[in-house]
Amino acid sequence: MPAGAQRFEVISVSLPRDLLERTNALIPRTRRSRVISEVLASFLDSIARKRLEREYRAYYARRSARETREERNLLADWELSDEEAWAILEREASGGLRPAR
């Protein structure tokens, strides 16, 4: 069995007639499976991103005001000013190091 054929499984999908007619009119037969696979993969990725977004929102909603304040203070302590960033870049350039991209 060829290596490429092992990655796929044949399935049957029922589509509304108008959707099937539009698909047939727009997408060449040789590319139809690939296009449908890409659209489905994109849709599933979108669902996974939305789920993760909801989970993060729920996590941050459960946190206490104290925890949120502590995190903001910690981030503020670590915030790099523009002057500090330029100083680091200038030190790297003058020290013979390749500047960061």
What are the Cα distances from residue 40, in Å, to 7, 36, 46, 51? 16, 6, 10, 17
Binned at pLDDT 50, 70 and 90, residue 2 comes out as low
* Dihedral pair phi/psi, residue 50, rounded to 5°: -65, -40
Q: Which residue type does 19 have?
A: L
Task: Please tell me the predicted confidence (pLDDT) of residue 85.
Answer: 84
Q: What's the rounded Cα separation, in Å, for the pair 69 and 20?
A: 54
Please state, for a pLDDT cut of 90, what percent of the chain lies above it: 41
What would the mean pLDDT of 65-71 be, rounded to a whole number? 92
Is residue 96 helix, strand or coil? coil
Q: Within 10 A of 11 (CB to CB), how many other CB atoms are there?
A: 5
Q: Is the pLDDT of residue 75 over 80?
A: yes
What are the Cα distances from residue 69, in Å, to 12, 55, 56, 64, 78? 53, 20, 17, 9, 14
Q: What's the rounded Cα separation, in Å, for the pair 81 and 77?
A: 11
Q: Is the pLDDT of residue 43 over 70?
A: yes
